[in-house]
Structure 1
Amino acid sequence: MKPSKSLSLTPAFIACLALAPITNVANAEPAKFEVDDEHFSMVFEIMHIGYAPVMGMFRKVEGEFVYDDETQELISGELAFKSKSVFTNHEKRDSHVTGKDFLNSGKYPDITFTVTGFETTGESTGVVTGDLDLLGQTKPVELDVTLNKAAEYPIGHEEYTLGISAEATLKRSDWGMTYGLDPALVGDEVTLRFGFEAIKDSGWF
């Protein structure tokens, strides 16, 4: 029986087999993920007069990003925090933090982080670079990111979901927020910690 021409191992056919896995990875389609605001936490920490850190959080956030799960490539993304949503477990302090000395929420209601780049550092870790827009000024920031889990959600919406943790340290004075630095009443360094789930938008293309 003569071999089928369609299965003959010609050099061209062998080359196609060799390139097939590369082509499949290259053609992997990115997807849009939306931050689940019901499963989002963003905590900040700043030193108070050298005695103890004050911790707070932003309670309202919106965000989405485009990510290729197969190639681990972060294409784009943005997080927007509502500056008025600050909570530090002290009403008077919350009013001060949202006032002109700090976040000036009346003039700048949103704090935004826009992704500019991404570098993989391990099997489930990476560094996200982006521009942080705060008090009308935009400065670069790096986030150390860990992908905790990527799977279909076991309950509720049952959509493909990413679980992410991230951390960064910045100096508030870089954005012109200098209240309390002289004398040293409020620290300059601010530690930010994020934890959130992001749901794949199955209707996006």
Structure 2
Amino acid sequence: MLFANRKNLFRSALAFPAALALSPAAMAEPKTYVIDDEHFSIVFEIMHIGYAPVMGMFRQVEGEFVYGEEARELSSGQLVFKSNSVYTNHEKRDDHVRGTDFLSSKKYPEITYTVTDFETTGENTGKVTGDLEMLGQTKPVVLDVTLNKAAVYPFGHEEYTLGISASTTLKRSDWGMTYGLDPAMVGDEVTLRFGFEAIRESGMF
């Protein structure tokens, strides 16, 4: 996933318990984590004429955040992905989705999610509130977030890594994307699911 200046894209403090024992001083100091672009998925699902959902994904996504183990709270952050990287396993449909009926990728090449608030809901779960900017409009979106694992990676880079899942449902019409709603050819509700690993920064990037 090729974005310029990846260190300025996504910064936050993430509120989840640590799975690795650290000294009090180390735990008190927030650390920067970079989303691993080899282990990141954002999948969307939308109904087609009421028969079955069409599923797709965005293949170019980047971000980073600051995780404070002791504070355990999400204070800010931003995620950025390329709208023209949309993929639904159908070339003609992909071109249509990139066009003016849907994502208008030439005019709006990036979609951003900027964190504005966080609420802890469980030992390893929370609700992230943020602003989703798409098609030149910004609307609030709440993500249900789960920390799946926090530990040193068992091979390869062997860095301390977080594994995170998130999901939400939104209405595309809230951003002015109304193609196919009348008649009901394409659904309004879109389900989004995220899954990614994030590596604690140690000079490797």
Interval of TM-score (by shorter of Structure 1 and Structure 2): 0.7 to 0.9
- Normalization by structure 2: what TM-score? 0.85
**TM value normalised by structure 1:** 0.85
Count matched residues: 180
Q: CA deviation at 1:93?
A: 0.2
Compute the displacement of 1:65 (Å). 1.1
What is residue 112 of structure 1 aligned with on the other side?
Answer: 112
Structure 1 distance, partners of 2:80, 2:130, is 13
| Rounded Cα–Cα distance in structure 2 between residues aligned with 1:145 and 1:51 | 29
Structure number having the greater helix percentage: 1
Within 1, Cα distance between the matches of 2:61 and 2:113?
A: 11
Cα distance in 2, alignment partners of residues 42 and 193 from structure 1? 6
Offset of residue 202 of structure 1: 2.8
**Correspondence 1:66-77 to 2 at 5 A:** 66-77=66-77
Give aligned-pair identity as a percent: 78
Q: Which runs of 4+ in 1 moved over 4 A?
A: none
In structure 2, give the amino acid aligned to 1:169.
Answer: T
1:53 match: 53
Q: Tell me the CA shift for residue 33 of structure 1.
A: 1.0
2:43 aligned with 1:43: yes
Structure 2 unaligned residues grouped into runs of 5+: 1-23
SS at match of 2:80: strand
Rg bigger for which structure?
A: 1
Distance 2:39 2:132 in 1: 22
- Contact 1:66–1:75 at 8 Å: present in 2 too? no
Query: Equivalent residue of 2:131, what SS?
Result: strand
Q: Give me the whole-angstrom Cα distance separating, in 2, the residues matched to 1:67 and 1:140.
A: 23
Give the counterpart letter for 2:121 in structure 1. T
Q: Judge conservation of contact 1:172–1:188 (CA < 8 Å) in 2.
A: yes
What displacement does 1:98 show?
0.4
Please give the root-mean-square deviation of Cα atoms over the aligned residues, in Å. 1.5
The answer for the alignment partner of 2:159 in structure 1 is 159
